[in-house]
A and B are shown apart, each in its own frame.
Chain A
């Protein structure tokens, strides 16, 4: 978005043209394609895992963003942010140790039968 000219709200017609134009610039288009990929993977994960499992696990993306900005973009990271990175990593470790989904009573029964055999 940064190389594009500043978008103004003063002229609605120009606003629409510049926003539609922005969609077709390579970086924005790549970003949109990746976001669609994210949403598709997120939905697939939700189809076989609990929301309370998927949501904390995807928060690990924040850690990746912080590490990329530190080592790729060379942005400084304060002590509070390093603490945040550690907390998220520990939290994701906690949730990943547990089961990924809540079994319904029928499913538990089926598992017990298989084990009994």
Chain B
């Protein structure tokens, strides 16, 4: 609803290149945020174990004292604001499906490269299917 409100604000239509770079900024920031957050959670370890050992407070402390987690959340916040910026200039029906579906594919690549996750054929298929599905659903 908030996004639709921002998208409704008038403005001149940007060129395709500007539009593409706005969407690219959203996708890059969100991928960086997801990868950093995932790396933070992996380095902290299984939260269920930490909670069983040192309680809910211990688990919360373990998360919010991680510098990687803060870097991740900052990039996620940056992704959100660049999404708002893009929506200010472009249509919601273009930005929402494009950024949501592209993020899934870039995350599969980033997960393989930076997190050294085992992205096998099964996961590639899933990423591509969900990517097309999200695009169709949000379009």
Tell me which residues across on chain B come within 8 A of A51, comparing CB atoms.
34-35, 38, 107, 111, 115, 117
Of B47, B115, B119, B129, the residue contacting A94 (CB under 8 A) is B129
Residues of B in contact (CB 8 Å), total 42
Residue among B38, B112, B125, B135 having the largest count of chain A Cβ atoms under 10 Å: B38
Given A43-B47, A98-B123: A85 in contact with B137 (beta carbons within 8 A): yes
Are B2 and A50 touching (Cβ within 8 A)? no
Given A47-B41, A51-B35: A84 in contact with B117 (beta carbons within 8 A): no
Bound CA–CA A90/B131 (angstroms): 12
Whether, in the assembled complex, B44 has its beta carbon less than 8 Å from a beta carbon of chain A, the answer is: yes
Given A44-B48, A48-B48: A91 in contact with B111 (beta carbons within 8 A): no
With both chains docked as a complex, state the minimum distance between the C-beta of A98 and any C-beta of chain B, in angstroms: 5
1/0 contact string of B54-97 vs chain A (CB within 8 Å): 00000000010000000000000000000000000000000000
Bound CA–CA A51/B126 (angstroms): 13
Residues of A in contact (CB 8 Å), total 37
- For chain B, residues 89 to 139, give those with C-beta under 8 angstroms from any C-beta of chain A: 104, 107-108, 111-112, 115-120, 122-123, 125-130, 132-139
Are B46 and A84 touching (Cβ within 8 A)? no
Are B122 and A55 touching (Cβ within 8 A)? no
Q: Identify the closest chain A residue to B128 (Cβ).
A: A91
Given A47-B47, A87-B129: A62 in contact with B37 (beta carbons within 8 A): no
Are A52 and B137 touching (Cβ within 8 A)? no
Are A52 and B42 touching (Cβ within 8 A)? no
Whether, in the assembled complex, B17 has its beta carbon less than 8 Å from a beta carbon of chain A, the answer is: no
Of B5, B123, B139, the residue contacting A52 (CB under 8 A) is B123
Q: Identify the closest chain A residue to B60 (Cβ).
A: A40
- Counting from the closest, the 9 A-B pairs by CB-CB distance are A84-B136, A87-B133, A91-B129, A84-B137, A88-B133, A95-B126, A91-B130, A51-B38, A46-B41
Residues of B within 8 A of A (CB): 1-2, 5, 34-35, 37-38, 41-42, 44-48, 63, 104, 107-108, 111-112, 115-120, 122-123, 125-130, 132-139
